[in-house]
Amino acid sequence: MEKREVQISADLQKFIEKFEPNKFKLMAKGIEIRGINNMHKTTSQAKDLIERLQLNLDVLHNAEMLSYGGFEVNNR
């Protein structure tokens, strides 16, 4: 199996630098942020930052991610 290096977009890099997540996992489409206690507050902050900086990113979360305190920030 060939191992490919995941590229981080400029918008995603800006988001990581400004949002400063404690723990995140790099994925093919973006990042997964884990260990969040207040999901509503944190996802709202992430969405606000994306809008304010006019980044081409989306926040995704569902019930499964909620079970481990995580959400995704993906490239559009």
Residue 2's pLDDT is 55
**Which residue ranges form the domains of the chain, and what is each CATH number?**
10-75 (3.30.70)
Residue 3's pLDDT is 57
Tens digit of pLDDT at every position of the chain (76 positions): 555 666 789 999 999 999 999 889 999 899 999 999 999 999 999 999 999 999 999 999 998 998 889 999 999 9
Residue 18's pLDDT is 96
At residue 57, φ and ψ (nearest 5 deg) are: -135, 160
